[in-house]
Amino acid sequence: MGKNANMDCNQSGLFDKRNMINTLTIITSNADLLSLNEGFAEQVHIAFDIKGVRSLNEFSASTLHVGSIFDSGNITFSIYLDSFQKVDFSKILEDIKNERYILVQNTFHPNYHRVEQKPVICFNSVDKGTPELILFITEMNKTFQAQGYNGIYPMYFSNDPTPFSSRDNFCFPIHLSKTDICNCYYDILKNKFYSAKYIGIRSLEIALIIQELKKAEDRLLQEQPLQFEMLKMFSFLSSSSKLLSYQLDIAKADLENQKKYLEILRGKDGALEIINFYKNEYEILPLWYKRFGHILKVITGKRSFRSLYDDNTKKYKL
């Protein structure tokens, strides 16, 4: 352990402005957060609580008409659907089908959060596997595939840090104190090896939450420096792996396009055969032979005599 093994979250100092091990996700129904003029060195993901088509319209109007979010390179946003917040998946699915571009248009915003180049839609883990959510995700995949996406990326948040799965992210319980947030985050870092994921919380105090989370990471660095470096490295490699995977997919797609292009060039295309025949059978003929052929066409009545010296005259007779 380091020198300050007994340091708790109230005593810990802050690190410099570095990316955290995990990405902070602010879950809120307050669309005014998009008007933030304050920039953050850390990545911040804002997930907007959507309860129905009305809140979806309000969210859409905010994202499309608030320009300051374009200046916040580290702030991304998405939507959050939670049955605990009285979301009726069947009803909201019907609303989206009737006005499908309400949701889709927001995903084309440069700051809309994407994972694996898919637009993110967040859910509560308690809804995972329910028939309503399965149907919702299936229909959303169809809707977004029709717009050129490869479906959506469902992101799940759980209030229980015990059964972490590969895609579940931790969400703090509501009304935790600052110290509780710091200690809880420290616990899942140290004992759950929580890295390269998202930390959800319902709060509007973004700067304060970042401060508490970084205190916990600072404490882990002091008490367990090797574990901290391992989690930090895993987070970095996970992010790099996703980027490299995306670049690989682009390279593969480009290679397939090049193969198809070469197949077309090498194929026995009728138009190419006509062009080749023209070049090989006509262009190589001597000029006197071509002129004799034109005169012969005049004699046989297939071409007008005037067309031999006037380019504006119709050459061939029907």
Distance CA 305, CA 297 (A): 9
Contact present, 156 and 170 (Cβ < 8 Å) = no
Q: Is it the case that residue 2 has pLDDT exceeding 60?
A: no
Cβ neighbours for 160, distance < 8 A, ≥ 6 positions apart: 125
Please report the pLDDT score of residue 249 as a whole number.
82
Contact present, 75 and 113 (Cβ < 8 Å) = no
> What is the mean pLDDT of the segment spanning 1-9?
46
Q: Is it the case that residue 31 has pLDDT exceeding 80?
A: no
8-state DSSP, 17:
S
Q: Is it the case that residue 229 has pLDDT exceeding 70?
A: yes
DSSP strand pairing (118-124 vs 153-158): parallel
Q: Give the tokens for residue 278.
A: 């023209």
Q: Is it the case that residue 228 has pLDDT exceeding 90?
A: yes
Q: Is it the case that residue 226 has pLDDT exceeding 90?
A: yes
Please report the pLDDT score of residue 189 as a whole number.
92
Q: What b/e string do you get for 27-53 counting C-beta neighbours within 10 Å, with b at 16 or more?
A: bbeebebbebeeebebbbbbbbbbbeb
- Distance in angstroms between the alpha carbons of the first and the last residue of the chain: 98
List, for residues 170-198, the tens digit of each pLDDT value.
999 888 888 999 999 999 999 888 888 89
What is the phi/psi pair of residue 215, to 5°?
-60, -45
pTM exceeds 0.85: no
Q: Give the tokens for residue 250.
A: 């682009």
Distance CA 53, CA 39 (A): 30
8-state DSSP, 35:
G
List, for residues 53-109, the tens digit of each pLDDT value.
677 777 777 766 665 555 666 788 899 988 776 778 888 888 777 766 677 778 888
Contact present, 83 and 127 (Cβ < 8 Å) = yes
Contact present, 109 and 72 (Cβ < 8 Å) = no
Residue % of the chain over a pLDDT of 70: 69
Cβ neighbours for 65, distance < 8 A, ≥ 6 positions apart: none
Q: Is it the case that residue 5 has pLDDT exceeding 80?
A: no
Q: Give the tokens for residue 201.
A: 């919380």
* C-alpha atoms less than 13 angstroms from C-alpha of 190 in its C-beta half-sphere: 17
Distance CA 316, CA 312 (A): 12
Please report the pLDDT score of residue 315 as a whole number.
59
Q: Is it the case that residue 142 has pLDDT exceeding 80?
A: yes
List, for residues 194-223, the tens digit of each pLDDT value.
888 899 999 888 889 999 999 999 999 999
Cβ-based neighbour number of residue 222 at 10 Å:
19
Contact present, 72 and 39 (Cβ < 8 Å) = yes
> What is the mean pLDDT of the segment spanning 126-152?
88
Please report the pLDDT score of residue 222 as a whole number.
95
- Which residue has better confidence, 7 or 298? 298
Residue % of the chain over a pLDDT of 90: 22
> What is the mean pLDDT of the segment spanning 282-288?
66
> What is the mean pLDDT of the segment spanning 301-311?
65
List, for residues 103-130, the tens digit of each pLDDT value.
777 888 888 898 888 999 999 888 888 8
Cβ neighbours for 317, distance < 8 A, ≥ 6 positions apart: 301, 302, 303, 304
Please report the pLDDT score of residue 122 as a whole number.
93
Distance CA 102, CA 57 (A): 7
Contact present, 126 and 83 (Cβ < 8 Å) = yes
The residue with tokens 């509560």 is 124
Q: Which of 12-21, 233-242, 292-301 has the lowest mean pLDDT?
A: 12-21
